[in-house]
Amino acid sequence: MKQTLSPFILLLTLAACGGPSQDHAKTEEKKEAAATTGSAYTIDTTATSVQWRATHKGGFAPRFGDIKVAGGSLNVENGVLTGGSFEVNMNTLVTDPASVTEKDKKSTELDGHLKSPDFFNVAKYPNAKFVITGVAPYDSAKGKSLIPGATHLISGNLTLKDSTLNITFPAQIAVSENDVTASAKFVIDRTVWGINYKTEGSPENWMISKEVEIGFRLKAVK
């Protein structure tokens, strides 16, 4: 039996033309996690990826890269996703060298900056986490999705550093007897999680996009 899902993660993105799309994930206060009923499917970290995109210099310098999922599980009952969670290892955050075109810049330098206390402070907060709080059918007439063929609306608590908020976004989910696959792409505002460079409203912070696009492809196996 086929269906389609995709929850988050983690973390951050921009549109190729220089700025992220306007398909923002709905952001609310933290909610209670969904009951994990049914069979557990373990996330295959080798077949799962999280992509991020953001911009620098007022939108003229796109930045993008990847982060690895550390582990997690999804629960399925009667062919329907019911809940689950996964963690993202922030120490694995990397910037794609193709996104750093300035002659005096290196992608590894940006990696270090993003991992520093200026942004994610991975020494203190090594993991980001997503916990599903709700799964509902997706109605394309009530909104647009960055993922073609979205089938569900996923809601979940996203923890970045020491802040947890609930986000809702369209996803494509496919459930079979032996695995669950999911994909999604959505935009978040990093500042609502308290992620600011220097001070909020400073010129340095303004030069970096508040909006980050997150995309993920997820696979969990029974």
pLDDT tens per residue across span 19-40: 334 478 999 999 999 998 999 9
Residue for token pair 């996703």: 81
- The predicted-structure confidence for 199-215, as pLDDT tens digits, reads as follows 566 555 556 788 899 99
Reported as type and span, the H/E element at residue 94 is strand 80-95
pTM of the model: 0.84
Residue 38's pLDDT is: 94
Percent of the chain with pLDDT over 70: 83
CA 116/CA 32 separation, integer angstroms: 31
Element (H, E) at 25: none
Partner residues linked to 189 by β-bridges: 211
